[in-house]
Amino acid sequence: MQTFIKKADTAILEAAALIKRGELVVFPTETVYGLGANAFDGQAVAKIFKAKGRPQDNPLIVHISEIDEIKNIAVDIPDGFYKLAERFMPGPLTVILKKSDKIPCEVTAGGDTVGVRMPDNKYARELISKSFPLAAPSANRSKHISPTTAEHVYEDLAGEIPLILDGGECSVGIESTVLDLTCDIPTILRPGAITAEMLLGIVGEVSENGRVIKIAKAPGMKYTHYAPVVDTVSAKNIDSAVAEYDKAAAQGKNPVIVARDIYRDKVSEREQISLGITAEDYTRNIYKALHDAEKKYGYIIIEELHGEGLEQSVMNRVTKAAGGKSV
């Protein structure tokens, strides 16, 4: 199969036609690029798992363009959902609800709940409005780094999909927060740019300890994710990063430090990829930096963040990318 990258503002109708024929389309969102199929078509959704090499027991998120579309996707919808939607949709929040019978088991990994979100990207919502709600994970090979540009997608999935809609770089840069509303206490199953502190004003009480379940309710919980193809560690501070760099360089590992610009003087002449300055910069740039690093270097050392909220969310991805290895 030949894969084409086309500008999103000129190829929406072509993309919608592909979705209606049961094909896959990659589309941009504010978080990462998504690999979408008609959420009501189990056979189309099954193609996502084949293209990514994704385990069948890892559920997908359904993306909508209008809040009214939720009525065909979920049942027993609590008032809390609509309060959250009013504040955070469109945006990087996924809400877990009880699924409608219209959603096939391929989307939910056989479970009775479904994740729903409305992306804050005009091209994504236009594609959905002209076709169907889209079941979609990130548009990368399973377990590899999530894509924040169309080129990242092409490098991973060329030959597996017909069309990539290029909408530029993603503005947020990490996956959505996943909040389970089917629990007694709303529970964060995956942290993201919408933090617990931001949710408290809407739902009143939030648990950050997801329940242990046999069938995962949210993507990104059961498997290694976001990992470069070369050895990767995180560093507790910049001094640890520099020490690890010098050790790795002496061993011929061709290392690089991935860190914020505030440490450029300490990193000195050592190889470095910048993550910007603020936590928002770090979050937006981390996946792109890892994509760049794995192409040129043999060993990646990532600066850790130690704050709450957004810093905690992005460190969830860094810890998984490093396989839990810290220096």
Annotation: CATH topology of 4-203: DHBP synthase (3.90.870)
Nearest C-alpha neighbor of 180 from the set 169, 164, 172, 191 = 191
Instruction: Measure the CA–CA gap between 63 and 120, rounded to whole angstroms.
Output: 11
pLDDT of the residue at 212: 32
**What CATH architecture is 231-321?**
3-Layer(aba) Sandwich (3.40)
pLDDT of the residue at 214: 35
pLDDT of the residue at 215: 43
Backbone torsions φ then ψ of 179, nearest 5 degrees: -120, 120
pLDDT of the residue at 66: 97
Domain boundaries, the chain: 4-203, 231-321
pLDDT of the residue at 47: 97
pLDDT digits (tens, 9 = 90+) for 23-43: 999 999 999 999 999 999 999
Burial call 119-154: b when 16+ CB within 10 Å, e when fewer? bbbebbbbbbeebbbbbbbbbbbbbbbbbbbbebbb
pLDDT digits (tens, 9 = 90+) for 171-206: 999 999 999 999 988 999 999 999 988 998 888 888
pTM for the predicted model, two decimal places: 0.86
Q: Which residues of the chain have pLDDT under 70?
A: 209-225
pLDDT of the residue at 56: 85
